[in-house]
């Protein structure tokens, strides 16, 4: 019976191979090598991010079956999902938890790539597409936060869109484009919904496709220090096959992540809060999602005016300039090599950025920090 079954599968695969010629993908995976050294663990983070993104897509599609994108119905529809729909609470909680874990893993992935200097030639496009993907994921977080139409989300959107509105030249257009008018209203919710479920997924698919293609084309980057050590010893580095060895290890991580997500969703279900009321004051203790907290705190501690210009504008320009430098790092740190002064400068720049973000984030969560 089983031999017959195997025969059928083999025949089906042969049929597919004759028409689609898909076996080149398997060959590609078998020929792809993953370097083995003391930093190999960081290579798993890209796959983990991809896995969490797939969870987001699946749970997001399931939420779409019941969600209604209007100011009058959004909150009630999410309430319906979490209280009446079988396992609705689980799907919504996993979507929220997975979004947070995804951004967390993505940040670690990005910083590990940064400190291991994996952005260096010829991987500039991989770095740029990866950084753009981080911005897109933050865009997903920002737009998705409003969709339950609760109080916290309403004011987070009010502040976030006001920040976009303070940008020089394009600010006014950006604010009206994002809000769908001058105020945060049901029109803003409809726009954010469209951006969250159509515009961002389309952009992400295109950029992620390019990112994965570049990773496949150039393979995993070995850190300059490891390369120098191997050169000094006159040995070629060790490696393992992507298919099946690395993928099987990836799978273990993905199973653990799925378990952790289910546990988090069951033990700490994501709260819905109170329905948004545009004519209520901002509630005490308001803060954005943790990954925006460092920007939130920056805007909070800046004085009203610096050198005659409003403090918030300095903050917004500073953060935008930092993001641009981060995006262009491969072109600024052109010859990363151990001992190179510019390379050391950029490593310090990365540590300072990381420390700044961590301190500002922790500050928000400290008693009295808000």
Partner 1 sequence: MGEQPTRRGFLNWFLGTSLGAMAASVLYPLARYVSPPDVPEAQTDRVVAGKEGDLKPNDGKIFRFGSQPGLLVRTAEGEYMAYSAACTHLNCTVQYRGDLKQIWCACHNGFYDLQGTNVGGPPPRPLEKFKVNVANGEIVVSRT
* Sites of contact with partner 1 (CB under 8 A): 155, 158-159, 162-163, 166, 173, 176-177, 179-181, 183, 187, 278-286, 296, 299-305, 310-312, 370
Question: Which stretches of 199-342 are assigned E, i.e. beta strand?
Answer: 238-241, 305-306, 309-310
For the CB of residue 173, give the shortest distance to partner 1 in the complex, in Å: 6
Instruction: Pick the closer one to partner 1 by CB: 21 or 281.
Output: 281
For the CB of residue 316, give the shortest distance to partner 1 in the complex, in Å: 10
For the CB of residue 49, give the shortest distance to partner 1 in the complex, in Å: 30
The CA-based angle 174-322-102, given to 5 degrees, is 80
Instruction: Pick the closer one to partner 1 by CB: 160 or 224.
Output: 160
For the CB of residue 164, give the shortest distance to partner 1 in the complex, in Å: 11
Q: What is the torsional sign of CA 88, 91, 93, 95?
A: negative
148-175 burial code (b ≥16 CB/10 A, e <16): bbbbbbbbbbbbbbbbbbbbeeebeebb
Instruction: Pick the closer one to partner 1 by CB: 15 or 365.
Output: 365
Instruction: Pick the closer one to partner 1 by CB: 99 or 316.
Output: 316
First to last CA, the chain: 67
Tell me, rounded to whole angstroms, the distance of Cα 315 from its chain centroid: 23
Instruction: Pick the closer one to partner 1 by CB: 217 or 305.
Output: 305
Alpha-carbon gap, residue 118 to 141, rounded angstroms: 26
For the CB of residue 231, give the shortest distance to partner 1 in the complex, in Å: 50
**What residues contact residue 27 under an 8 Å CB cut-off, 6+ apart?**
none
């Amino acid at each position: 019976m089983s031999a017959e079954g195997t025969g059928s599968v083999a025949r089906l695969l042969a049929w597919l191979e004759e028409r689609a010629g898909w076996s080149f993908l398997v060959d590609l995976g078998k020929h792809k090598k993953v370097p083995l050294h003391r930093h190999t663990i960081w290579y798993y983070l890209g796959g983990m991010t991809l896995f969490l993104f797939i969870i987001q897509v699946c749970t997001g599609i399931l939420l779409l079956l019941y969600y209604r994108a209007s100011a009058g119905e959004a909150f009630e529809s999410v309430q319906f999902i979490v209280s009446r729909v079988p396992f609705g609470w689980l799907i919504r909680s996993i979507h929220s938890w997975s979004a947070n874990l995804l951004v967390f893993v993505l940040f670690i992935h990005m910083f590990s790539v940064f400190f291991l200097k994996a952005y260096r030639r010829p991987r500039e496009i991989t770095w740029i597409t990866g950084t753009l993907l981080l911005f897109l994921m933050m865009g997903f977080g920002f737009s998705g936060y409003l969709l339950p139409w609760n109080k916290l989300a309403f004011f987070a959107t009010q502040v976030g869109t006001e920040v976009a509105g303070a940008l020089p030249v394009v600010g006014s257009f950006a604010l009206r484009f994002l809000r769908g008018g001058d105020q945060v209203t049901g029109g803003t919710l409809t726009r954010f919904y469209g951006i969250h479920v159509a515009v961002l997924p389309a952009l992400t698919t295109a950029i992620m496709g390019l990112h994965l293609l570049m990773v496949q084309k150039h393979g995993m980057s070995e850190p300059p220090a490891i390369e120098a050590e191997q050169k000094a010893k006159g040995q070629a580095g060790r490696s393992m096959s992507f298919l099946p060895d690395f993928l099987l290890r990836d799978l273990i991580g993905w199973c653990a992540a799925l378990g952790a997500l289910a546990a988090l969703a069951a033990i700490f279900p994501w709260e819905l809060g109170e329905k948004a009321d545009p004519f209520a004051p901002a509630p005490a203790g308001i803060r954005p999602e943790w990954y925006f907290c460092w920007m939130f705190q920056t805007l909070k501690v800046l004085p009203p005016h610096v050198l005659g210009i409003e403090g918030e504008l300095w903050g917004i320009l500073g953060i935008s300039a930092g993001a641009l430098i981060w995006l262009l790092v491969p072109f600024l740190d052109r010859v990363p090599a151990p001992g190179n002064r510019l390379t050391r400068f950029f490593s310090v720049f990365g540590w300072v950025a990381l420390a700044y973000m961590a301190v500002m984030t922790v500050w928000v969560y400290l008693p009295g920090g808000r």
